[in-house]
Structure 1
Amino acid sequence: MKAISTYFTAFATGLILLSASSCKKALEETPYSFYSPENFYKNESDAKTAINGVYAELYTYDLYLQPFWNMTILDDDHVSGADWFLGTTGAGNPQAYFGWEKPWVGCYAIIARANTVLENVVNINNMDGDIKNRILGEAYFLRGWAYFQLVQLYGGVPIRLKSLSATEPQTNIPRATVKETYDVVISDFKNAETKLFPVGHAKAGEVGRVNQGVAKAFLAKTYLTMASGAATGNVTVRGGTDNGYYTYVKTVVAGHEGIDSKAFYTLARDKAAEVITDNQYALTPSWKDLWSIAGRNNKEQMWELQSLAGTAFVNNLSAYFPARSTFGQGAVWTTNNHYNDYELLDKRVLDGITHNYTTLQGTNIFYPFAQASLYKVVGGITYNNTNTTTAERAYTIKFSSVADPSVANSDAFFPLLRYSEVLLMYAEAENEVNGATTLAYNALNTVRFRSYPTTGTPAVPVPAAYAPANMNPEQFRSYVLAERAREFNLEGIRRFDLMRWGIYLQVMNKISTGQNNITKVRANRNLLLPLPLSELNANKAIPGNNPGW
């Protein structure tokens, strides 16, 4: 990789510090190029500006403006879309996508900036000690987060824990092993956990910043990823061309050999339990409200990518995912097969999928064709559906609530961590340690209950809300995996789930050609993304690319 300068463009204090009264001011950009660390890091204001520069990379065309979500959301078994958009990453050919190198570049930019913060903020004396610790904690977390993404996407990667400088000039660094990379992730998340404050603390930082609970949850997620990668056994998944149930033999994911699966599942369970018992977070009662503008930064959205209309801090999620978009209709939708994996009363499809919409060209369409009695005539308006790929599109509402849906780049918020995932991590881990216990069922059903109506006095969830009773560990494992797919549809989690369980190739190839003629055929090389050519050309310690690339 080309030397990453210790100089960087930092952003004005409050880059992601969104509040109702100061959003615009908080997100204005101010360049600080060509400031050396010796001249820049003088006081608390400089430290805040520097850590904002680390967060800033999330907003670029390296990461969440498009490339990162493109390469993680579009490549799974439950997504379909326009062939002009899914014909690259969505068809297993990421190198044909313009942004294929960007996740690597973006993650290493975060790492480089975080290193600079860690090396320099610690030496600032003219600032509040608690704020100093918090900023160092944020830097540790963001660096750990970047390595966590890298190891999942690319395998073991070069570890750079110091800024490149005259005293640290080495650019030729070999790849660490997968386990060594995870060791860095764990260390950074642990450091972040000890330095960050709980959410709601007076010094925890403004909305949009990571806090102690987020660090704990990502530590649990790291343990869970390692544990599932090392596990063996069977997993049953609904899919294939007939949307049937197929059982796959799971093998150890490459690089996870020698990891004690049960020990790491225990660590994952215990850390997730800490977040749950802290009682700082809660599920949003209404699924629909969770995705509204008013529902942003609520107690369930533990960490959200902040955006602000009319500034540089936007993304183009709302151009691709909603039913009505700047293209006329959205370019990404949920497959019909996955839609059918939800029960009829599940609000994640009743409220979470757009059943009636009008395209930009003025055509009224309803979905799905099989439920015409519910959606063909609504509010005196007749909607049409030709029962073709043109009409049979299950669009999510998740990125629809924006200030101005008529512009390509808007203020859609993106969930980086939800409390519902902590509950499902606990359920999965407890099952792998002790079986499908009452504790595991309680965590699983808590997530399910939110998505179903209640009945009776006092009100209780309807029978369909409860996960099937008396499941054995293998059945419970498969059910939690399916529940995660229902809960986090099109949030960039499904691909990682299939990968960490070692069933990605089997599940994808069982489909072969999916909805809208999007190929799901994958080869061994698709288990990891290709390394950027710029890295291979600059870093002579890496002898070649990932297998097959």
Structure 2
Amino acid sequence: MKAISTYIIALAGLMGVVSMSSCKKALEEKPYSFYSPENFYRNESDAKAAINGVYNELYTYDLYLQPFWNMTILDDDHVSGADWFLGTTGAGNPQAYFGWDRPWVGCYAIIARANTVLENVVNITNIDPDIKNRILGEAYFLRGWAYFQLVQLYGGVPLRLKSLSAENPETSVPRATVKETYDVVINDFKAAETMLFPLGHAKAGEAGRVNQGVAKAFLAKTYLTMASGASTGNVTVRGGTDNGYYTYVKDVVKGLEGLDAKAYYTLARDKANEVMTNGPYSLTTSWKDLWSIAGRNSKEQMWELQSLAGTAFVNNLSAYFSARSTFGQGAVWTTNNHYNDYEDADKRVLEGVFHNYQTLQGTYIFYPSWQATQYKVVNGITYNNTGSTTAERAYVIKYSSVADPNVANSDAFFPLLRYSEVLLMYAEAENEVNGATLAAYNALNAVRGRANASNAPANMTPEQFRSFVLAERAREFNLEGIRRFDLMRWGIYLQVMNKISSGQNNISKVRSLKNLLLPLPLNELNSNTAIKGNNPGW
């Protein structure tokens, strides 16, 4: 089955026609061409081109070419890197990064394009009814996904569920509440769930498109995010300068006060269970194979950002995250402290971290220095660490399997949803509803067992199990852009980050209240008179 990127490329020439509602300023909808929706949306081919135009925004410098993953991966307690790269977002100063306003712009571009699809594809008659339904489901999902990102990053945001038109001319729209924004996310994911086909259905579409299982999983993730944000209690996290265990009293996430956390956890558990029970998903047996080219679009990689070498649909993930890079060495790695949170036999570090590599300049380096017996001499090659911080870099393999590692922009795939997260969502939610039951343990240990880690400690209390699952998510999704959101939704981000103060490679982890939300773009503040001020502290 061809990946969606192939179809987006084939239709790239139509993007101006397709994206009548897209632009580079949030909430502004300016046609790229003289074509109007009335004379474009005529048949199934037009509808497919239109929905591809919504996906296309994921591939831009608004989102996954760099800004979105930069703003989410580089800002957590387990990431380190070169000061020239992490000195802005990674040090709590996102406005110093060139792409600081792009996630807002990109998400609203998706919303605008999805609105156009929803308003026009519904009226097409020259189309297979099943394909029509699927395309509408994809549009609902992508709009819901965009609002889900916005509410987590910025709080309550302006809700635009219709395109700008003579009937809907207002460009200044006030911010909705956090709860109102989440309600839109839930409604869109629910609509998508009913309209999309399951994985494997003949009309589900190419790899890279969302399907019914993805919609169900993101609905579970939304419920889980809201539930954990509204919860009270304690969370124990390993960290600080000494990599010790510290227990924090969690904060309730602003805007989710008074929410029935247990009710939303029940919704999250039940929806995750639907995916586990009825979906055709499974864990990839080998951790190393999961991240290989052959492992792309597997039954674990439920939704991946597709790429294609030699086209515009590439990114620079491989250059920044891999041990050997066009920079010489990569610019992002996981910290020594986090590396030490894995068991020695855990394949997520045994096979998932570069232990022996050669830089672009030809230097042979092994990691970590304290395991020299195992890694200093391998296959007759001596890897000579200098003892400096240059050598103490735990580079992950996740983005290194590309067609050509010697180019800056290559075809790394980015995981937007993995089945292992569904299992860990279920484990977390079941524990919050019923305690650390056998079902919760089974889901948790399925993830650990694949990694060759030992079973989780028996007889944990609900608080211990909660903390263990949070740590397991950090081990499983290291440098996948999930850890920051986990710390935020649990209301412990500031406490965990400030316990570190100055992290590995002297990257500042000091954060203040303003870092709980990203700043709104200046263009939005200047053009939308209904928004009276920026997020606190910005």
TM-score by length of structure 2 reads 0.96
**1:54 maps to which residue?**
54
**1:139 maps to which residue?**
139
**2:517 maps to which residue?**
528
CA distance, structure 1, for counterparts of residue 9 and residue 50 of structure 2 = 17
Please report how far the alpha carbon of residue 166 of structure 1 lies from its aligned counterpart in structure 2 after TM superposition.
Answer: 1.5
**2:64 maps to which residue?**
64
| Cα displacement string for residues 426-462 of structure 1 (whole angstroms, at most 9, x for unaligned residues) | 000000000000000000000000011xxxxxxxxxx
Alignment of 1:220-239 (within 5 A): 220-239=220-239
CA distance, structure 2, for counterparts of residue 150 and residue 24 of structure 1 = 25
**2:467 maps to which residue?**
478
**1:213 maps to which residue?**
213
| Cα displacement string for residues 4-43 of structure 1 (whole angstroms, at most 9, x for unaligned residues) | xxxxxxxxxx99525xxx6796475444341210110000
CA distance, structure 2, for counterparts of residue 192 and residue 311 of structure 1 = 30
Kept after mapping to 2: 8 A contact 1:322/1:399: yes
Q: Does residue 17 of the first structure (1) align with residue 4 of the second (2)? A: yes
Task: Say which SS state the counterpart of residue 75 (structure 1) adopts.
Answer: coil
* Paired amino acid for 1:246: Y
Task: Say which SS state the counterpart of residue 465 (structure 2) adopts.
Answer: helix
Task: Say which SS state the counterpart of residue 105 (structure 2) adopts.
Answer: helix
CA distance, structure 2, for counterparts of residue 38 and residue 91 of structure 1 = 48
**1:183 maps to which residue?**
183
| Cα displacement string for residues 100-157 of structure 1 (whole angstroms, at most 9, x for unaligned residues) | 0000000000000000000000000110101000000000000000000000000000
Please report how far the alpha carbon of residue 465 of structure 1 lies from its aligned counterpart in structure 2 after TM superposition.
Answer: 1.5
* Paired amino acid for 2:54: V
* Paired amino acid for 2:4: L
Task: Say which SS state the counterpart of residue 149 (structure 1) adopts.
Answer: helix
* Paired amino acid for 2:245: Y
Kept after mapping to 2: 8 A contact 1:16/1:55: no
**2:454 maps to which residue?**
465
CA distance, structure 2, for counterparts of residue 193 and residue 67 of structure 1 = 29
Task: Say which SS state the counterpart of residue 246 (structure 1) adopts.
Answer: strand
CA distance, structure 1, for counterparts of residue 47 and residue 86 of structure 2 = 41
Please report how far the alpha carbon of residue 176 of structure 1 lies from its aligned counterpart in structure 2 after TM superposition.
Answer: 0.2
CA distance, structure 2, for counterparts of residue 172 and residue 189 of structure 1 = 26
CA distance, structure 1, for counterparts of residue 12 and residue 113 of structure 2 = 19
Please report how far the alpha carbon of residue 283 of structure 1 lies from its aligned counterpart in structure 2 after TM superposition.
Answer: 0.2
* Paired amino acid for 1:17: I
Kept after mapping to 2: 8 A contact 1:27/1:308: no
Kept after mapping to 2: 8 A contact 1:62/1:106: yes
CA distance, structure 2, for counterparts of residue 282 and residue 514 of structure 1 = 36
Please report how far the alpha carbon of residue 386 of structure 1 lies from its aligned counterpart in structure 2 after TM superposition.
Answer: 2.2
Kept after mapping to 1: 8 A contact 2:4/2:208: yes
Kept after mapping to 1: 8 A contact 2:225/2:489: yes
* Paired amino acid for 1:483: E
Q: Which of 492, 496, 500 pairs up with 1:511?
A: 500
CA distance, structure 2, for counterparts of residue 16 and residue 191 of structure 1 = 24
**2:26 maps to which residue?**
none
Q: Does residue 335 of the first structure (1) align with residue 324 of the second (2)? A: no
**2:490 maps to which residue?**
501
Alignment of 1:388-427 (within 5 A): 388-427=388-427
Q: Does residue 548 of the first structure (1) align with residue 522 of the second (2)? A: no
CA distance, structure 1, for counterparts of residue 393 and residue 9 of structure 2 = 39
Kept after mapping to 1: 8 A contact 2:324/2:330: yes
TM-score by length of structure 1 reads 0.94
CA distance, structure 1, for counterparts of residue 330 and residue 340 of structure 2 = 20
Q: Does residue 120 of the first structure (1) align with residue 120 of the second (2)? A: yes
Kept after mapping to 1: 8 A contact 2:11/2:49: no
**1:371 maps to which residue?**
371
- In percent, how many aligned pairs have the same letter? 83
CA distance, structure 1, for counterparts of residue 63 and residue 13 of structure 2 = 18
Task: Say which SS state the counterpart of residue 248 (structure 1) adopts.
Answer: strand
CA distance, structure 1, for counterparts of residue 2 and residue 536 of structure 2 = 39
| Cα displacement string for residues 65-121 of structure 1 (whole angstroms, at most 9, x for unaligned residues) | 000000000000000000000000000000000000000000000000000000000
**1:460 maps to which residue?**
none
CA distance, structure 2, for counterparts of residue 385 and residue 39 of structure 1 = 65
Task: Say which SS state the counterpart of residue 145 (structure 1) adopts.
Answer: helix
CA distance, structure 1, for counterparts of residue 113 and residue 399 of structure 2 = 29
Q: How many residues align?
A: 522
* Paired amino acid for 2:252: V
Q: Does residue 162 of the first structure (1) align with residue 162 of the second (2)? A: yes
Please report how far the alpha carbon of residue 384 of structure 1 lies from its aligned counterpart in structure 2 after TM superposition.
Answer: 1.4
**1:203 maps to which residue?**
203
Kept after mapping to 2: 8 A contact 1:328/1:360: yes
Kept after mapping to 1: 8 A contact 2:2/2:206: no
**2:20 maps to which residue?**
none
Distance 1:110 1:16, change over 3 A: farther
Please report how far the alpha carbon of residue 165 of structure 1 lies from its aligned counterpart in structure 2 after TM superposition.
Answer: 1.1
Kept after mapping to 2: 8 A contact 1:41/1:124: yes
| Cα displacement string for residues 366-405 of structure 1 (whole angstroms, at most 9, x for unaligned residues) | 0000000000000110001123211100000000000001
Distance 1:49 1:15, change over 3 A: farther
Distance 1:144 1:25, change over 3 A: closer
Alignment of 1:92-103 (within 5 A): 92-103=92-103
**1:456 maps to which residue?**
none
CA distance, structure 2, for counterparts of residue 407 and residue 74 of structure 1 = 22
Please report how far the alpha carbon of residue 246 of structure 1 lies from its aligned counterpart in structure 2 after TM superposition.
Answer: 0.1
**1:11 maps to which residue?**
none
* Paired amino acid for 1:251: D
Kept after mapping to 2: 8 A contact 1:61/1:102: yes
CA distance, structure 2, for counterparts of residue 199 and residue 57 of structure 1 = 23
**2:23 maps to which residue?**
none
Q: Which moved more, 1:377-386 or 1:82-91?
A: 377-386
* Paired amino acid for 1:517: N
Q: Does residue 267 of the first structure (1) align with residue 256 of the second (2)? A: no
| Cα displacement string for residues 155-184 of structure 1 (whole angstroms, at most 9, x for unaligned residues) | 000000000112111011000000000000
Task: Say which SS state the counterpart of residue 396 (structure 1) adopts.
Answer: coil
Distance 1:431 1:24, change over 3 A: closer
Please report how far the alpha carbon of residue 248 of structure 1 lies from its aligned counterpart in structure 2 after TM superposition.
Answer: 0.2
